[in-house]
A and B are shown apart, each in its own frame.
Chain A
Amino acid sequence: MIDPIFLAEAAINGLLLGGVLALLALGLNLIFGVLDIVWIAYVDLVMLCMYLVYFLVMVYAWPVWLAGLAGLALGAGLGVGVHWLIITPILNSPPINQLLATGGLLFFLQSFATFLWTTDHRSVRLALPIVEVGGMFLSFARLVAFTLAILAMVGLYLFLTRTFIGTAIRAVSQDRGAMALMGASPQRVYTVTSAVGGAMAGLAAVLLSIQYSVHPHFGAAFGPITFMICVLGGLGNMVGAFIAAFILSEIISVGGVIWSTEMGYVIAFALFIVLMFIRPGGLLARRER
């Protein structure tokens, strides 16, 4: 029998991981909801931003918060760059071509990072404490990451519901053509969406880099789980993705403590397959129609 303290600790760690995963999934989902294109290379953009944070902090000795802002800005810039250079020319192509193009970007970025920075694992070394709460040991870095991720998602929610351009982003995801009749240039809305989605990748990168080391295949480690969260929640459904992130992260974390980390992933992926048979459109497929 496992000590209930360990289980509670795993559950809290799952919750903390879920916050960052939800942030990743929401960024990807936002872009998908508006453009109808899945950025396969999304988490590889995260990887690039993590390298930036790493170099700024470890080599150039920038303070972490400033490097974090730089990572956020790079994410937004990469989002706009990907949209203009890769998505815009193929906006009206068949979906398979769009997938191939963003998939190609993934391999390009992986190889590019390997070429420039080798396959070494690099981590930002911060002397962050471990917090003890009621016999449980929690990483301070994870608590910070979780808090910032939740704040960012609240900010995203306010942006999408309270501002003209945010409401326009939601409107475009429901009817592209009608929004043009309102005077919104589709390209402008797409660019803003890509910048916001990219900025979320940048922020996720900052939050991940204080917990994990970065390497060229970081995208391969976090990409699949991010897509699974989006699909499980219902592609384009923000609330669904938010819930799905916590379901999967809890399974991985608690399953990891009961059996092993690998087994946690096995259970999460198996559950995903089963749920896809039961609810092919995602957990909240009905509600957002």
Chain B
Amino acid sequence: MLTLRDVTAGYGHFTALWQVSLQVTRGEAVAVVGPNGAGKTTLLRVISGVIAPRTGDLVFEGQTLTGRPAHDIVAHGIAHVPEGRRLFPALTVLDNLKMGAFLPAARRHYAESLERVFALFPVLHERRQQRAGSLSGGEQQMLAIGRALMSRPRLILLDEPSMGLAPVMVLRLFDLIRRVREEGYTILVVEQNVRQVLKLVDRAYLLEVGRIRMEGRADELGEQDFVRQAYVGL
């Protein structure tokens, strides 16, 4: 479904990703794990078109999308839930979701998508008239995911969904992401909470200082000694 081939990318003179290749198959959940500053966020930004790669290719459902701007990539079916959620804090929950359905194709199914998102996250329905900025961290993350679903994507990119959440909330959120997955979405998630995310996904890549160091099935990767010591904390 998604293929990255030899992608190098960065900001100014700084290179954050070195010849990264990665693949996601339809229906899969894939994680990219690694320490702070490994280039995980940059990787998602390249996929969603926030930054253009310097070299390499980005192919999604058979189409080359390399270097397309972000607003164009969404239209192709990739939704990005960015780091720090990036909600519109002064807008209501409902208006935030509305903005998720900004594209004409998504707008046509607005009512239906809204119903689906409210079924997944009933708390958003309760709080639909509140300002997004007044929600708790967990609710904000749900809204960010719900907003992404409103564009009717086939692939969802999640950047550190557990960031800044209390441990109980992290568990709940991962359960919810599991349910999103069961709805048939393909997921590519970047996480620092390695132990939890490996329970969620099928496969994982380990990214270190901008390079893919390892890849494999989630259960196998979790068994690797050095992954356990460095990231899982066992």
CB within 8 Å of B: which residues of A? Answer: 164, 167-168, 170-171, 174-175, 177-186, 288
When distances are taken between beta carbons in the complex, the residues of chain B under 8 Å from A164 are 98-99, 102, 107
Q: Are B86 and A167 in contact (CB under 8 A)?
A: no
Contact partners of B70 in chain A: CB under 8 A: 177, 180-181
A170-B71 contact in complex given A179-B99, A183-B103, C-beta closer than 8 Å: no
Q: Tell me, in angstroms, the Cα distance from A288 to B74 when the chains sit together.
A: 30
Is B86 touching A181 in the complex (CB atoms < 8 A)?
Answer: yes
Contacts of A181 in B (CB 8 A): 48, 50, 70-71, 74, 79-80, 82, 86
Chain A residues with CB below 8 A from B151, complex form: 182-183
A-B contact pairs, 8 of them (CB 8 A): A167-B95, A167-B98, A175-B87, A175-B88, A181-B70, A181-B80, A181-B86, A184-B71
Q: Is B90 located at the chain interface by the 8 A CB criterion?
A: yes
Q: Is the CB of A185 within 8 A of B69?
A: yes
Query: Across the two chains, which residue of chain A brings its CB closest to B107?
Result: A164
Q: How far apart are the CA atoms of A174 and B90 in the complex, in Å?
A: 8
Q: How far is the CA of A181 from the CA of B96 in the complex (A)?
A: 12
Tally of chain B residues near chain A (CB < 8 A) = 27
Are A167 and B71 in contact (CB-based, < 8 A)?
Answer: no
A78 CB, min distance to chain B CBs, angstroms: 26
Q: How many angstroms between the C-alpha atoms of A168 and B98 in the bound complex?
A: 9
Q: How far is the CB of A239 from chain B (nearest CB, A)?
A: 12
In whole Å, how far is A259's beta carbon from the nearest beta carbon of chain B? 41
Contact assessment for B98 and A178 in the assembled complex, using a CB-CB cutoff below 8 Å: no
| Majority secondary structure, A binding face | helix
B89 at the interface (CB under 8 A from A): yes
For B50, B69, B79, B102, which residue has the most chain A Cβ atoms within 10 angstroms?
A: B102
User: Which B residues lie within 8 Å of A183 (CB)?
Assistant: 71, 74-75, 102-103, 106, 151
Q: In the complex, A168 Cα to B99 Cα: how many Å?
A: 7
CB of B193, distance to nearest CB on chain A (Å) = 23
- Taking the nearest CB of chain A, how far is it from the CB of B106, in angstroms? 7
Question: CA–CA, A164 to B107, complex, Å?
Answer: 9
CB distance from A272 to the nearest CB of B (A): 26
Could you tell me the distance in whole angstroms from the C-beta of A13 to the nearest C-beta in chain B?
Answer: 35
A288 contacts B80, CB within 8 Å?
Answer: no
CB closest chain-B residue, reference A288: B90
**Closest CB-CB distance, A288 to chain B, in whole Å?**
7
Closest A residue to B86 by beta carbon equals: A178
CA of A185 to CA of B71, assembled, Å: 6
- A-B interface, 8 closest residue pairs, ranked by CB to CB distance from nearest: A178-B86, A183-B103, A183-B74, A180-B70, A171-B88, A182-B102, A174-B88, A185-B71
Answer yes or no: B227 CB below 8 A from chain A CBs. Answer: no
Instruction: Please indicate the chain A residues that have their CB under 8 angstroms from the CB of B50 in the complex.
Output: 177, 180-181
Known A183-B102, A185-B71: A178·B90 in contact at CB below 8 Å:
no
User: In the bound complex, do residue A180 and residue B99 qualify as a contact, i.e. CB atoms below 8 Å apart?
Assistant: no
Interface membership of B100, Cβ < 8 A: yes
B69:A180 contact, CB within 8 angstroms: yes
B85 (CB) vs chain A CBs: closest residue: A178
Minimal Cβ-Cβ distance residue in B for A172? B88
Query: How distant is the Cα of A68 from the Cα of B13 in the complex, in angstroms?
Result: 53
Mark each residue of chain B from 84 to 120: 1 if its CB lies under 8 Å from any CB of chain A, else 0.
0011111100011011101100110000000000000
